[in-house]
Amino acid sequence: MHRFNIILLAFLIVIPLSAVDGNEILKKLDRNLSPESYESYRKLVNIEPNGRKKEFVLFTVKKGADKVAALFISPASEKGRSTLRLDENMWLYIPNVGKPVRITSMQSVVGGVFNNADILRLDYAVEYNVEKAEDMDKKLLLHLKAKTNTVAYDRLRIWVDKTRILPEKIECMTEAYMLIKTIHFKEVKDFGGGIVRPSVMETDSPLHEGYKSIMIFAGIKKREFKDEVFTLTFMPNMETLRK
């Protein structure tokens, strides 16, 4: 009888949750990572195999499900540049160039392992559906499939801290499950206003052997914006949003 109970317990631990439950968990994870509309300051660090580093500081704003913009604060060579994302459309504004130019999700305005989709990220639940959610004792494993073929990654596997409903690790893959990159979430921090989330995201990729990129959040808080902030004509004026 004791052996039967052990087998039954093991079965209960690995039994998958429904996809409906998984999608609700994913929405909660999105809100735990950030408010629906917010501003943030973060540093991006690219590390090459020889140890050389390049750092960028970005001021980022987001509104609702599909609007994100970011302003480069440093280094001096990048200061004043801004990026805009409206759904799957992205642009880069460079002072003195004249007008914003189109960029793609798989390109990177900073180089390194983070691409534009990572830097101007929408909520995961906006771009993905949960196909399967597995209960793994203290963690949940969510298997995500992209809703369209325009997103940067066809599939994601997210390991979720069951207590906090926060990501611990994300594997980004192709449709054929080839690993593109892994993102590790570290150093959970209380940012105030009810936002308690990892302050460090570190990514590596088998496609960029020896390279590593790190994103460090210095601040994030809820803030509302007018729609005009997320337009091509406003891109040169993003500095006016900083308080």
CB 63 within 8 A of CB 225: yes
- Counting beta carbons within 10 angstroms of the beta carbon of residue 168, is it exposed (0 to 12), middle (13 to 18) or buried (19 or more)? middle
Residue 17: what pLDDT?
Answer: 59
Residue 14: what pLDDT?
Answer: 44
pLDDT in tens, 215-239: 999 999 999 999 999 999 999 999 9
Domain 16-241: which topology?
outer membrane lipoprotein receptor (LolB), chain A (2.50.20)
* Neighbouring residues of 51: CB distance < 8 A, sequence distance ≥ 6: none
pLDDT in tens, 70-96: 999 999 999 999 999 999 999 999 998
Mean pLDDT of the chain: 91
CB 144 within 8 A of CB 133: no
Q: How confident is the model at residue 20 (pLDDT cuts 50, 70, 90)?
A: low
Residue 13: what pLDDT?
Answer: 43
| Alpha-carbon distances of 218 from 18, 77, 82, 162, 232, rounded to whole Å | 36, 21, 19, 25, 27
C-alpha to C-alpha distance for 200 and 212, rounded to whole angstroms: 13
C-alpha to C-alpha distance for 214 and 238, rounded to whole angstroms: 24
